């Protein structure tokens, strides 16, 4: 992470501001977090925790809807009737402006896979598709590529990724990843008919391999964690993602990995209290520090959907160590701003966390101009 907090704040502002907000920013308007502290490290932490401006999030949804609308019209003309769903950071509201892509699932509408289940509340017709389900998904992908190239001729339509079609540039204000897939009806879904239990399968177009994912379980579990912590878990995820993005060294943890690690964080570490935002920094730093000191425990943690270990390779373990170090450095910088400038001595880790936990930062009044919150 750049050690100069002027640089960090500049990068954070750039990520958080849309083009239409630039004029307001140039006139001295700033987001509410910028008014809560004059201290640069503290201001960075406050901003890194906040959700993206509602208008910016709305733009992400508008871009996904634009792609969905054009694909729906084009695919229906080809006799294809897929389902569309968002996955990833945007529907979970832990996305980072300028970093997080919009992931749009395009799900084969006629054929699916299902797990064998006694007592299923669903019934299924025999498969009558193109030979194998993978052929149906690849056909859906091929037609989607044709439609996207034809309808978004001024944009970059990258067909090379194995699992998605990537849209950018041109009229796109956000990068959109279109992910052709099929439904996977799990045992839990068949017994409960709860949509969060339904899985999807993505196809690698080069190897024809089916890859099973459970994005709606992840969204449901992180959402539940957020409710239990008064949105503190979401704040902690955004903080850790911003710290990773600003780190000088590459950190081999995905957004999904970071969210999964904080999912296992004890609730009382990251429960948000009014004006006590620094408790989130303290709790996230403490959790990552604990994991960095106990490799057996850290590498035993499973993703929220229960399908794999979060730190399933050496690179991810090393990524955890780097992110833990970055969070500790940041916590120390903030604590230093809170302490007396005279006769300062760095405290031990427990004292540092207590000082962060005990500190209250008054809320700043919000300014709303043209529907944009500042």
How confident is the model over 146-171, as pLDDT tens digits? 999 999 999 999 999 999 999 999 98
pLDDT of residue 302: 98
- Is 50 exceeded by the pLDDT of residue 80? yes
Give the up-direction half-sphere exposure of residue 325: CA atoms within 13 A in the CB hemisphere: 12
pLDDT of residue 98: 65
Contact 198, 216 (CB under 8 A): yes
pLDDT of residue 175: 94
pLDDT of residue 371: 47
pLDDT of residue 29: 46
% the chain with pLDDT above 70? 88
36: pLDDT confidence band, cut at 50, 70 and 90? confident
What single DSSP character describes residue 342? S
Distance CA 236, CA 226 (A): 10
What dotted CATH number matches 55-213?
3.30.460.10
Q: Which residues contact 109 (CB under 8 A, 6 or more apart)?
A: 80, 81, 82, 83
Q: Where are the domains of the chain?
A: 5-11+28-50+220-362, 55-213
Report the range of poorest mean pLDDT among 71-80, 182-191, 241-250, 336-345: 336-345
pLDDT of residue 39: 82
Distance CA 322, CA 244 (A): 9
Torsion of CA 295, 297, 303, 308, to 10 degrees: 70
- Is 80 exceeded by the pLDDT of residue 108? yes
- Is 70 exceeded by the pLDDT of residue 365? no
What pTM, to 2 d.p., does this model score? 0.90
- Is 70 exceeded by the pLDDT of residue 324? yes
Contact 324, 288 (CB under 8 A): yes
Contact 25, 63 (CB under 8 A): no
Strand 113-114 versus strand 176-185 pairing type: parallel
Question: Average model confidence (pLDDT) for the chain?
Answer: 90
| C-alpha closest to that of 218 among 87, 106, 310, 97 | 87
């Amino acid at each position: 992470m750049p050690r100069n907090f002027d640089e960090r704040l500049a990068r954070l502002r750039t990520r958080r501001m849309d083009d239409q907000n630039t004029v307001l920013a140039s006139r001295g308007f700033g987001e509410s977090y910028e008014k809560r502290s004059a201290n640069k490290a503290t201001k960075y932490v406050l901003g890194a925790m906040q959700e993206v401006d509602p208008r910016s999030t709305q733009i992400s949804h508008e871009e996904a809807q634009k792609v969905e609308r054009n694909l729906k019209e084009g695919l229906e003309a080809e006799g294809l009737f897929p389902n569309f769903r968002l996955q990833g950071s945007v529907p979970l509201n832990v996305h980072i402006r300028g970093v997080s892509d919009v992931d749009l699932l395009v799900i084969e509408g006629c054929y699916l896979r299902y797990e064998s289940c006694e007592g299923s509340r669903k019934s299924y017709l025999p498969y009558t598709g193109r030979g194998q389900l993978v052929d149906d998904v690849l056909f859906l992908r091929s037609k989607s590529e044709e439609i996207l190239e034809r309808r978004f001729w001024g944009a970059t339509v990258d067909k090379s990724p194995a699992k998605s079609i990537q849209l950018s540039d041109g009229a796109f204000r956000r990068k959109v990843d279109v992910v052709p897939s099929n439904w996977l009806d799990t045992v839990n879904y068949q017994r409960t008919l709860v949509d969060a239990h339904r899985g999807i399968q993505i196809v690698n177009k080069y190897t024809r391999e089916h890859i099973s994912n459970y994005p709606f379980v992840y969204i449901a579990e992180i959402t539940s964690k957020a409710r239990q912590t008064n949105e503190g878990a979401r704040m902690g995820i955004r903080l850790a993602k911003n710290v990773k993005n600003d780190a000088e060294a590459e950190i081999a943890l995905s957004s999904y990995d970071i969210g999964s690690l904080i999912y296992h964080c004890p609730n009382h570490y990251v429960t948000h209290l009014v004006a006590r935002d620094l408790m989130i920094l303290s709790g996230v730093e403490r959790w990552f520090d604990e994991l960095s000191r106990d490799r057996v425990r850290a590498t035993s943690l499973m993703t929220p959907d229960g399908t794999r270990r979060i730190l399933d390779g050496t690179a991810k373990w090393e990524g955890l160590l780097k992110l833990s170090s970055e969070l500790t450095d940041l916590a120390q910088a903030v604590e230093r701003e809170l302490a007396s400038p005279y006769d300062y001595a760095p405290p031990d880790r427990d004292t540092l966390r207590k000082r962060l936990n005990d500190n209250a930062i008054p809320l700043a009044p919000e300014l709303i101009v043209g529907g944009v919150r500042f």
